[in-house]
Amino acid sequence: MEDPSGRARRARVAVGLLFFVNALGLTTVLPRLPEIKADLGLTNTALGLALAAAPVGSLVGVPLTGRLIARFGSAPVAAVAGTALGSGLPLLAVAPSWAALAATYLALGAADGVMDAAMNAHGLRVQQQYRRSLINGLHGLWSVGAATGAAIGTAAAGLGVPLTLHLGVVGLVAVAASGTAAAWRLPGPDPADLTAPGPAGEAAGRPVPPPSSSADAPAAGRASGGVGRALRPLAWVGALAVLAGMGEDVAGTWSTLYLAEGRDAPPGLAGLGYTSFSVAMLLSRFAADRVTDRVGAVAVARVGGMLAMLGYVVVLTSPSLPLSIVGFAVIGLGIAPAFPTLFHAAGHWPGVRSGDGVTVVSWVARLGFLVMPPLVGLVADSASIGAGLVLGGVAAGAYGLLAGRLRPPANR
């Protein structure tokens, strides 16, 4: 049963706001990428390199998150990062050159990465208060933010709203929501260990009863501190995070350009690929908790990876624009449960401190976000954007095939 206390409910709203604005900020820019590309006279490769600055910033910022959480708490860290993200968003609209655009993405990527790890850590803490799974639903709120951002960006592009006004308003919303989340968070320091009895791999995405204190855990199962120490036991989970990130990021980042250039879609319709992708992710994540409880996290990951790969096939082979948009929805439907499952598995991995496990998955996933934009851009300039999308389909399929590695070694 859910904890009826007002504190727990307010904290759930708070962490939900963090997930929402984390997605809202950078996704609202995606439908405006063709405009930014044209204004700065960029090639696909140059645009891809500028976009890759965001994961570079994340790779620098995320490793610090474990220490920041230990010192200040996960929710305050996430709220400060959300404020930085909202404050910096309008700078994308006034970047005068490729270098300025890349520098802005670098800073925003660092804020996004820190916020991502911290809000997931706090989400797992809130989940413990409810004694049932919430993490997929929280990621569903992320998808609500992504769909909202994409819809706002698409509408703004179609109506010719100035980019500065568009991003300025969205940035103010992000700052206000982050401040509210800071006030409603769970008080006190984060527990060092969320590990509960049971196979963490199969429990990913399932309700995990919280121990009354970290001292209640068996001594042999207590988590050791340090992100570096968590890398080795979570190596396979990290590899799956890279593949999932690649499968998700390719569709999300390049859908608008693919429909605009590969399908000759007008600005008002080109953003519908990303919108359908985001809406499908939203619906899938809100349904994923119950499905995972019935068939297990590994089965959901396997089927989801294969379904996402099928979506890429539909996008690339469909003879019409509407079918391509449907294909992006299928990708979102399949890949949506991946990161909630990965974060939960890492946050409850035996012998790994929860904050460190979440930080490791968030950091390693950024490697996929770093590699994909310039690689897809290079392939797009050499062949076509469609050829670049093939890479996302391969990564999604590999994630599905290797999903059994979500189980800890002792449970395989």
Q: Which two tokens stand for residue 238?
A: 């990290």
Give the number of residues written for the chain. 412
Domain that holds residue 38: 6-187+226-411
Res 196: pLDDT:
45
Query: Average pLDDT of 27-51?
Result: 87
Please, how many CA atoms are within 13 Å of residue 12, restricted to the half-sphere of its CB? Answer: 20
224 strand-pairing partners: 352
CA 78, 126, 296: angle at the middle one, nearest 5?
A: 110
Is residue 157 in a domain?
A: yes
Is residue 200 scored above 50 in pLDDT? Answer: no
Is residue 263 in a domain?
A: yes
Q: State the CATH number of the domain containing residue 324.
A: 1.20.1250.20
Res 18: pLDDT:
95
Is residue 372 scored above 60 in pLDDT? Answer: yes
Is residue 44 within 8 A of residue 257, CB to CB? The reply is yes
Q: What is the per-residue pLDDT across 110-137, written as a single tens digit (0 to 9) for each?
A: 999 899 889 988 888 888 888 777 888 8
Res 249: pLDDT:
87
Burial of 229: CB neighbours in 10 Å, binned 0-12, 13-18, 19+: middle
Is residue 332 in a domain?
A: yes
Is residue 55 in a domain?
A: yes
**For the chain, what is the domain count?**
1
Is residue 271 in a domain?
A: yes
Res 301: pLDDT:
92
Is residue 84 within 8 A of residue 111, CB to CB? The reply is yes
Is residue 122 within 8 A of residue 16, CB to CB? The reply is no
Question: Exposed e or buried b for every residue in 81-101, given b needs 16+ CB within 10 A?
Answer: bbbbbbbbbbbbbebeebeeb
Is residue 219 in a domain?
A: no
Is residue 107 within 8 A of residue 156, CB to CB? The reply is no
Helix-strand-coil split of the chain, %, nearest 5 = 80, 0, 20
Please, how many CA atoms are within 13 Å of residue 353, restricted to the half-sphere of its CB? Answer: 16
Query: What is the C-alpha to C-alpha distance for residues 382 and 395, in angstroms, rounded to an integer?
Result: 20
Is residue 205 in a domain?
A: no
352 strand-pairing partners: 224
**Residue 135, SS3 per DSSP:** helix
Res 190: pLDDT:
67
Query: What is the C-alpha to C-alpha distance for residues 401 and 395, in angstroms, rounded to an integer?
Result: 10
The structure tokens 């190596």 sit at 235
What is the chain's mean pLDDT, rounded? Answer: 82
Query: What is the C-alpha to C-alpha distance for residues 224 and 388, in angstroms, rounded to an integer?
Result: 41
Is residue 179 scored above 70 in pLDDT? Answer: yes
**Residue 224, SS3 per DSSP:** strand
Q: What is the per-residue pLDDT across 68-102, written as a single tens digit (0 to 9) for each?
A: 887 888 889 999 999 999 999 999 998 999 999 99
Q: In sequence order, what are the residues at sequence separation of 6 or more whose Cβ sits closer than 8 angstroms to the Cβ of residue 401?
A: 302, 305
Query: What is the C-alpha to C-alpha distance for residues 63 and 168, in angstroms, rounded to an integer?
Result: 29
Query: What is the C-alpha to C-alpha distance for residues 370 and 375, in angstroms, rounded to an integer?
Result: 9
Q: Which of 34-48, 87-101, 227-241 has the lowest average pLDDT?
A: 227-241
Res 193: pLDDT:
56
Is residue 195 within 8 A of residue 223, CB to CB? The reply is yes
Identify which of 60, 94, 261 has the alpha carbon closest to the alpha carbon of residue 167. Answer: 94
Q: What is the per-residue pLDDT across 306-325, written as a single tens digit (0 to 9) for each?
A: 999 999 999 999 888 889 99
pTM for this model (two decimals): 0.72
Q: What is the per-residue pLDDT across 317-354, written as a single tens digit (0 to 9) for each?
A: 988 888 999 999 999 999 999 998 898 888 777 777 77
Query: Average pLDDT of 385-409?
Result: 87
Is residue 294 in a domain?
A: yes
